[in-house]
């Protein structure tokens, strides 16, 4: 009985964390919206996880002053 509740809580937590990350990185919002629009039009969508991860890593490096 507790299992579905736990999964739901994890999903909600993941959603909240994703929105917080998007607030710091507005280009992620555009990426998510473009993916959603492509799916609505039944177009093939490449996995955006790598692109999203690259954007987040690049922004963190900029914040920390790492130029490499």
What is the phi/psi pair of residue 25, to 5°?
Answer: -130, 85
Q: Domain coordinates of the chain in residue numbers?
A: 2-64
pTM listed for this prediction: 0.48
pLDDT band at 68 (very low <50, low <70, confident <90, very high): low
- CA 16 to chain centroid, in Å, comes to 11
The token pair at 19 is 């929105």
The token pair at 43 is 């177009």
Percent of the chain's residues with pLDDT above 70: 90
């Amino acid at each position: 009985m507790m299992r579905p509740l736990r999964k739901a809580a994890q999903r909600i937590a993941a959603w909240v964390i994703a929105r917080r990350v998007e607030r710091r990185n507005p280009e992620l919002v555009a990426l998510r919206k473009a993916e959603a629009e492509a799916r609505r039009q039944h177009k093939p969508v490449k996995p955006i996880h790598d692109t999203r991860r690259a954007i987040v890593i690049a922004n963190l490096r900029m914040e920390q002053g790492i130029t490499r």
